[in-house]
C-alpha cells in the first residue's frame, strides 16, 4: 500500500480509514473532510487486500456524489471502477432488480415511471374505478401510494379505519396490479421491491451478504426507515456497515429522513465507539464557535464540537433593517462592495428560509445590475404557480393570448381533457380565430372557463392592482387548489401558497413605486424581471438559494436573510415535535456554509402576503455569543419599531398592564399592531394581530424567544415597552 494514500489525514480521519473489519459510525462535522474519509477508506480496503473492488457497496444520496467518489477512487488507485457498486439507493436497487428480474417477478425490460408518468397511471386507475377526483385529488392519491411504499407497506398492510382510507387503499391495490401487468415500477417501488426480494429469497440474500463484506453509506442521517432496513438485510450478521453522517445536519424530516437511525445503528450493530471528525477545513474560528454555541441548544445530540487551525477571523456581521426592502438594499450594496474588492460573485451566497423571500432580493439585484442564479430552484416570476397566476391576469387583459389560455384552461382541474383542447385548437384553426373565441362558441366545461374569465374581468374593474390579484387568486381556484394538497405534497404546496401571496406583496410595492400602476404595466414589469440578468452558465453570478438547497456547498461570503421569529425559525416548527430542533439544525447548516465572512440580517417590518408584519429578531440570534457579533445597526430590541418607520408611537393603555376591559381601543382591544410589549412568562414581543374585546378579546404577540402566541385578554397581563 502506498503511504501517500494516508498522508495528510488527521488522527481521527486516519483512525476511521484504517479501522479493522467492524461496523462504525463516523460523526462527520461540516467541512471535516467526510468525502475524503469515505473514498480513502474504500481505497485503503482495496489496496491492503482486505476486499476486492467488487466486494464493496457504497451508497450515496445523489448521482453527483457517486460520480465524484468514483473519480476520486480512479485518481487514488490504478483500478477499473466500472463494475463497482457505487450509487444511490434507487440506482443500486435498480441494478439488483435488473440482475434478478425473474426472482423479482418483473419483465427483463421493465421500465421506471417518473413522477409525471406515475401520476398519469394513478389517474387511469381512478377513472377505471370511477373514483371522484375532487374528493380524492390524483396528486394526493399518488403521494399516499408513495408514502405507503416508503414505509414498507403494501396495500393490504395499510390500516384503513374509515371508508375514505379504504377507498385510497383500493386505488393503491389496483395501481399495483396495473403496474405489474404493464411491467413498470415507480421510484418508491424500486426500493420496496428490492427489500421484499431480499427478505423472501434467502439464497439471494446470503449471496450478496457474502459478496459485500464492506458497506459504506454517505449522509447516513438522511436515511429513512426502509432504507435502513435494506442496509441491515445486506449487512447481515458478519459484514461491516461504515456509516458517515452528522446528526446536527439532519434537515430532511419532511422527506421521511429519520435521524434516529443513527442511534439504532449503534444498538443494532454493537458499535463500540463513535469516531468524531471535528476539525473543520472550511471556516474561520468565529464562524465555527458561533455554530457550536447555537447547536448546543438542541436536545438529544450525539455531541461534537467543530474547531479549526485557522485564526478566529472576522466577527459575524448582523444588520437590522427597518423594512425588508431596506434589508435587500443593504445586502446588494454589500455584495457590490465585495465585488469591488475583488471577490467574485460566484463566491457569494444569499440564503433564505422560504422561496417566497427571494422576490424582494431578486428585485434589488436586478436594480443594481448584479447577475445572479437561483440554485436548485426557479427565479420568482418563473415559478409554476406564479406563471399560472400571471396567465389568468394576461388572459383578462388580452383574450387573444393563446399561450395563457392553454396554461390555465384546465388548471386547476375543471374536467377539460386533452381531447377537448385538441378540438378547440382545431376549431380555432378552421375558423381562423383565437382559442378564446373558439371556446366562446363551444359548450360545456370549455364555455364555463370562458365565463370564469369574463367574470374575473368584470368583477375586478376599477379595483386597485393588489385587490385585482387577490380576487383572481381566490376566484380562479388557485389558492384552494394548493390549500387542498395533502400528504407528501403538502409542504411543497405551502411554499407555492407563500409564493402566490408574495405576488400580492410585489403588486403592492409596484403600486408605491410606479406612476402607472395598471395591470398591463405590472405584467410588463413581471416579464422584464423574469428575463433580465439571467446569468449564463459561464457567467460570474451570485448564488441565491434556500438553506435546504445550500447543504453540502460552501462560499467565501454568506448572507442569511429574514432572521425573524416565525420566518426563521419558521412558524410551522411549533406545530410538530422536534420542529424547533430541526430549524436550529437548519440554521447551523446555514452558518457553516461560510468560509470567511458571514452576514445575518432581519427586518423590523416585512411585507408578507400583501400585508405589513412586525417581527422580532430570531431567537437564534440570541443564542449566538455577543462577543462574536458585530452589529452594523442599532439593535431592534433597544427601540420601538414604529419610531424607525416614521410613525407615531402607539398610545399605551391606561395602566402599564392590560387585563380585560382596560384601555380598550375602538374595536375593544387596547393593544395595536406594532406595539412592543413584555409578558411575565414569554418575555419581549411585538403585537401582530388583535381580535374582539372584553372577556372574548384576544391579542397575537410574536415573542422574541417563545414565537407567535394568541393570548386571551381576560387572563394575559402585558406590559407596554
Looking at the annotation, which residues are catalytic?
A: 34-35, 218-219, 249, 593
Cβ atoms of 323 and 512 closer than 8 Å:
no
Q: List b or e across 620-645, with b for residues whose CB sees 16 or more CB atoms inside 10 angstroms.
A: bbebbeeebbeeeeeebeeebbbebe
Q: How many CB atoms sit inside 10 A of residue 151's CB?
A: 15
Which stretches of 191-315 are assigned E, i.e. beta strand? 214-217, 240-245, 274-277
Q: Is the peptide bond before 443 cis (omega within 30 degrees of 0)?
A: no
Cβ atoms of 209 and 235 closer than 8 Å:
yes
Residue 599 CA, distance from chain mean position:
21
Q: List b or e across 138-149, with b for residues whose CB sees 16 or more CB atoms inside 10 angstroms.
A: bbbbbbbbbebb
Within 13 Å and on the Cβ side, how many CA atoms surround 521? 12
Residue 557 CA, distance from chain mean position:
22
Question: Any residues with CB less than 8 A from the CB of 196 and at least 6 apart, and which?
Answer: none
Position of cell 400580492? 504
> CA 493 to CA 475: how far, in whole Å?
18
**What is the maximal distance between C-alpha atoms in the chain?**
83
> CA 258 to CA 551: how far, in whole Å?
17
Question: Any residues with CB less than 8 A from the CB of 8 and at least 6 apart, and which?
Answer: none
Q: How many CB atoms sit inside 10 A of residue 666's CB?
A: 6
Report which of 94, 14, 20 is spatially closest to residue 50, judged by C-alpha positions. Answer: 20
- Grid cell for residue 545: 438559494
Amino acid at each position: 500500500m502506498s503511504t501517500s494514500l494516508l498522508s495528510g489525514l488527521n488522527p481521527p480521519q486516519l483512525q476511521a480509514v484504517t479501522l479493522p473489519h467492524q461496523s462504525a459510525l463516523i460523526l462527520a462535522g461540516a467541512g471535516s473532510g467526510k468525502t475524503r474519509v469515505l473514498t480513502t477508506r474504500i481505497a485503503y480496503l482495496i489496496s491492503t487486500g482486505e476486499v476486492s473492488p467488487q466486494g464493496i457497496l457504497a451508497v450515496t444520496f445523489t448521482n453527483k456524489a457517486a460520480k465524484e467518489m468514483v473519480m476520486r477512487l480512479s485518481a487514488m488507485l490504478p483500478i477499473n471502477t466500472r463494475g463497482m457498486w457505487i450509487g444511490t439507493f434507487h440506482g443500486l436497487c435498480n441494478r439488483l432488480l435488473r440482475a434478478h428480474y425473474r426472482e423479482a417477478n418483473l419483465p427483463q425490460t421493465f421500465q421506471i415511471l417518473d413522477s409525471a408518468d406515475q401520476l398519469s397511471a394513478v389517474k387511469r386507475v381512478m377513472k377505471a374505478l370511477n373514483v371522484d377526483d375532487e374528493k380524492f385529488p390524483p396528486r394526493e392519491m399518488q403521494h399516499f401510494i408513495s408514502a405507503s411504499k416508503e414505509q414498507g407497506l403494501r396495500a393490504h398492510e395499510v390500516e384503513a379505519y374509515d371508508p375514505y382510507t379504504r377507498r385510497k387503499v383500493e386505488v393503491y391495490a389496483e395501481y399495483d396490479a396495473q403496474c405489474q401487468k404493464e411491467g413498470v415500477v415507480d421510484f418508491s417501488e424500486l426500493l420496496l421491491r428490492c427489500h421484499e426480494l431480499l427478505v423472501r429469497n434467502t439464497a439471494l440474500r446470503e449471496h450478496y451478504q457474502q459478496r459485500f463484506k464492506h458497506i459504506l453509506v454517505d449522509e447516513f442521517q438522511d436515511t429513512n426507515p426502509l432504507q435502513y432496513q435494506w442496509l441491515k438485510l445486506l449487512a447481515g450478521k458478519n459484514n461491516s456497515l461504515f456509516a458517515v453522517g452528522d446528526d446536527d445536519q439532519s434537515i430532511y424530516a419532511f422527506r421521511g429522513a429519520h435521524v434516529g437511525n443513527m442511534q439504532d445503528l449503534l444498538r443494532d450493530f454493537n458499535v463500540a465507539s463513535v469516531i468524531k471528525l471535528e476539525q473543520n477545513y472550511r471556516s474561520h474560528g468565529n464562524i465555527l464557535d458561533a455554530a457550536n454555541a447555537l447547536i448546543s441548544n438542541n436536545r438529544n445530540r450525539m455531541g461534537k464540537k467543530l474547531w479549526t487551525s485557522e485564526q478566529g477571523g472576522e466577527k459575524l456581521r448582523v444588520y437590522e433593517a427597518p423594512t425588508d426592502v431596506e434589508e435587500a438594499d443593504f445586502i446588494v450594496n454589500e455584495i457590490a462592495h465585495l465585488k469591488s474588492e475583488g471577490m467574485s460573485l460566484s463566491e457569494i451566497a444569499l440564503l433564505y428560509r422560504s422561496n417566497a423571500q427571494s422576490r424582494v432580493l431578486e428585485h434589488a439585484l436586478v436594480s443594481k445590475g448584479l447577475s445572479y442564479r437561483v440554485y436548485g430552484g426557479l427565479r420568482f416570476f418563473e415559478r409554476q404557480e406564479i406563471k399560472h397566476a400571471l396567465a389568468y391576469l394576461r388572459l383578462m387583459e388580452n383574450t387573444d393570448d393563446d399561450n395563457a389560455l392553454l396554461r390555465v384552461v384546465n388548471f386547476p382541474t375543471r374536467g377539460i381533457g386533452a381531447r377537448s383542447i385538441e378540438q378547440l385548437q382545431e376549431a380555432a384553426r378552421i375558423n381562423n380565430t383565437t382559442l378564446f373565441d373558439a371556446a366562446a362558441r363551444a359548450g360545456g366545461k370549455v364555455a364555463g372557463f370562458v365565463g370564469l374569465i369574463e367574470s374575473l374581468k368584470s368583477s375586478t374593474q376599477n379595483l386597485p392592482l393588489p385587490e385585482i390579484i387577490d380576487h383572481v387568486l381566490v376566484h380562479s381556484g388557485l389558492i384552494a387548489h394548493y390549500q387542498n394538497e395533502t400528504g407528501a405534497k403538502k409542504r411543497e404546496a405551502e411554499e407555492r401558497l407563500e409564493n402566490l401571496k408574495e405576488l400580492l406583496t410585489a403588486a403592492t410595492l409596484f403600486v408605491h413605486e410606479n406612476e402607472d400602476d395598471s395591470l398591463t404595466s405590472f405584467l410588463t414589469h413581471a416579464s422584464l424581471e423574469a428575463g433580465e440578468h439571467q446569468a449564463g452558465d459561464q457567467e460570474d453570478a451570485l448564488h441565491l438559494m434556500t438553506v435546504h438547497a445550500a447543504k453540502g456547498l460552501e462560499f467565501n461570503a454568506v448572507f442569511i436573510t429574514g432572521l425573524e421569529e416565525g420566518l426563521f425559525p419558521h412558524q410551522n416548527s411549533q406545530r410538530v415535535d422536534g420542529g424547533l430542533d430541526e430549524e436550529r439544525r437548519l440554521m447551523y447548516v446555514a452558518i457553516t456554509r461560510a468560509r470567511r465572512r458571514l452576514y445575518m440580517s432581519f427586518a423590523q417590518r416585512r411585507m408578507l402576503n400583501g400585508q405589513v408584519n412586525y417581527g422580532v429578531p430570531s431567537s437564534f440570534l440570541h443564542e449566538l455569543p455577543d462577543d462574536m457579533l458585530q452589529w452594523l445597526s442599532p439593535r431592534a430590541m433597544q427601540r420601538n419599531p414604529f419610531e424607525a418607520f416614521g410613525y407615531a408611537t402607539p398610545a399605551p393603555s391606561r395602566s402599564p398592564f392590560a387585563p380585560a376591559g382596560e384601555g380598550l381601543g375602538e374595536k375593544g382591544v387596547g393593544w395595536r399592531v406594532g406595539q412592543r410589549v413584555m409578558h411575565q412568562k414569554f418575555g419581549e414581543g411585538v403585537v401582530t394581530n388583535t381580535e374582539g374585546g372584553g372577556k372574548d378579546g384576544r391579542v397575537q404577540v410574536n415573542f422574541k424567544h417563545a414565537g407567535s402566541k394568541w393570548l386571551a385578554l381576560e387572563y394575559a397581563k402585558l406590559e407596554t415597552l
